[in-house]
Amino acid sequence: MEKVIHFTLNDEPVSCRVDVRKSLLEMLRTDFGLTGTKEGCGVGECGACTVGVDKETVDSCIYLAVWVDGKVVTTIEGVTNPDGTLSDVQDAFVKAGAVQCGFCIPGMVVSSEQFLEDNPDPSREEIRRALSGNMCRCTGYQKIVDAVEIAAEGRKVK
Amino acid sequence: MYDITGYNEAKSLQDVFDLIKEDPKARLIAGGTDVLVKSRERKEGFVDAPLIGITRIPDLQDIYLDDDETLVIGSMNSFTDVETNPLVKEHAPLLSEAVALVGGPQTRNAGTIGGNVCNGATSADSAPTLFAYNAVLEIHSPNGVKNVPIAEFYKGAGWVDLEPGDILVKIKIAKADYEGYQGHYTKFAQRHALDIANLSCACLLKVENDVIEDLRVCFGVAAPTPIRMAKAEAYAKGKAISEETMAEIGKLCLEDTNTRNSWRASKEYRDHLVQILPGRNIMAAIGEA
Ligand code: FES
Ligand code: FES
């Protein structure tokens, strides 16, 4: 069974015909070739597949593709500046040395971007809570929290 | 791909009734944070059936105060919606605190309070608090509307009072059940996020000059369903807040709970928690912990 859906993907209006059995993660990766969004656990426990839907983060592995009909979707590809350079949050991750294997990072960045939009002046505790749905097996999280702090500071200066 | 046979988006309650009539095997799906996980695990009833999406039905969305100041929460509000809603924060702050402890932000953005309740899990983070508030569930079906007290809704582990065609529309908390109460909820788990409780405990109480006027204690994961502590609650009425009172409340709770061993925690550990969490919650609720 397929359904035709219309939604906004990284600022671009798109329409597609999608198998109703697909998760949003599968649709993004296979139908749109947006492979920045990763599959870790597949059951909503790791956050590697985090994307923004209508300005809220969700785990795209346990979110049906058809559910984005009429909604606004942001993936890691939409976070990067249009000219291909890193966004301030991505840049802060690099500066802080917050990236090791990198597998969790697209999800971390999408969560951080949405969080900073909602809360431009966060405490470390608030950052930790905001990223509590994203697991990282490498870094121990400290430098990831540092990175979000750096990004928040940078935005205040601007 | 999920092994489902179809998907329909219901736009109204009538749509749900019609779709279920067409295919009684069809399953309702809200935020998907439980149903899709179970489908992935190929649990019986969650594969090889069509799904009916209900999150876009307008009747299930609002949070408002009724004419008699009953707090009414539409079943399809996400945990995030419930956590941040000003009316919930003002009148049932314990519910706002409890749902803030569900999973992680992504789960709270997608998962709904109605889905949490209908799942029937004893570990549901919204449940002990809703039990303590004496929440009433408004369930619609093609045959009409019924109002079920939440304690009667939970029948057993993963088993709730829902027939095919029934849909939870509203969760209601009467003014007499929230006004003047203060409370505290403890989710006792290994991790601070993305975890399921080893044991959870909600306490709501009314206190006057350090004397307990009314106490409500509900545990999650201390029995096959969330469970209120009738003996401890009856005992506590009129007692002064003291270490002895707290100890006796804990002891009486042990008489009403029925904990078990699981890989998350042993029965002995859970029984220990059953005795100490109510006291801790009561002290926290009155601001002395
Ligand atoms: S892959 Fe979606 S949460 Fe792990
Ligand atoms: S950098 Fe390897 S999982 Fe986070």
Domain presence at residue B20: yes
Start and end residues for every CATH 3.10.20.30 domain found in chain A = 2-77
Note whether B170 and B207 are same-domain residues. no
- Using CA positions, which residue lies closest to atom 4 of ligand 2? A136
pLDDT tens digit string along B91-127?
999 999 999 999 999 999 999 999 999 999 888 999 9
Query: Residue B107: its chain A contacts at CB < 8 A?
Result: 44, 59, 133
CATH of the domain at B223: 3.30.390.50
The answer to whether B46 and B27 are in contact (CB under 8 A) is yes
- The verdict on B38 and B123 lying in the same domain is no
pLDDT of A140 strictly over 90: yes
- Fold type of domain A2-77: Ubiquitin-like (UB roll) (3.10.20)
- What range defines the domain where residue B49 resides? 7-53
Domain(s) labelled CATH 1.10.150.120 in chain A stretch across 88-157
| Residue contact A58–B9, C-beta within 8 A | no
CATH number among 1.10.10.10, 1.10.150.120, 1.10.1330.10, 3.90.226.10, domain A88-157 = 1.10.150.120
Element (H, E) at B199: strand B199-208
CA distance B233 to chain A (A): 34
Query: Nearest ligand to the C-alpha of residue A137?
Result: 2
Is the pLDDT confidence value at B289 over 70?
Answer: no
What is the model's pTM? 0.95
Answer yes or no: do B12 and B29 share one domain.
Answer: yes
Residues B266/B271/B276/B280 CA torsion (nearest 10 deg): 70
Residues B172 and B209 in one domain: no
Q: Please check whether residues B130 and B39 belong to one and the same domain.
A: no
- pLDDT for A157 equals 78
pLDDT value of position B13: 97
> What confidence score (pLDDT) does residue B164 get?
87
Place of tokens 């801790």: B280
B70 lies in the same domain as B85: yes
What does the alpha-carbon distance between residue A149 and residue A93 come to, in Å, rounded to a whole number?
A: 10
- pLDDT category at B288 given cuts 50, 70, 90 is confident
Find the chain B residues whose C-beta atoms sit closer than 8 A to any C-beta of A: 1-7, 9, 29, 32-33, 36-37, 40-41, 51, 53, 55, 80, 103-107, 109-110, 192-194
Domain shared by B72 and B108, yes or no: yes
| Mean confidence (pLDDT) of chain B | 95
pLDDT tens digits along B203-261? 999 999 999 999 999 999 988 999 999 999 999 999 999 999 999 999 999 999 999 88
**pLDDT at position B24 over 80:** yes
Q: Could you tell me if B35 and B98 lie in one domain?
A: no
Q: Which of A26, A29, A45 to mutate to test the pocket of ligand 1 (most atoms within 8 A of CB)?
A: A45
Host H or E run for residue B110:
helix B105-110
- Domain count for chain B: 3
- Indicate whether A150 pLDDT > 70: yes
Q: Which ligand is nearest to the CA of A99?
A: 2
pLDDT at B190: 82
- Answer whether residue B2 is part of any domain: no
Query: What CATH number did the domain enclosing B88 receive?
Result: 3.30.465.10
d(CA A66, CA A44): 18
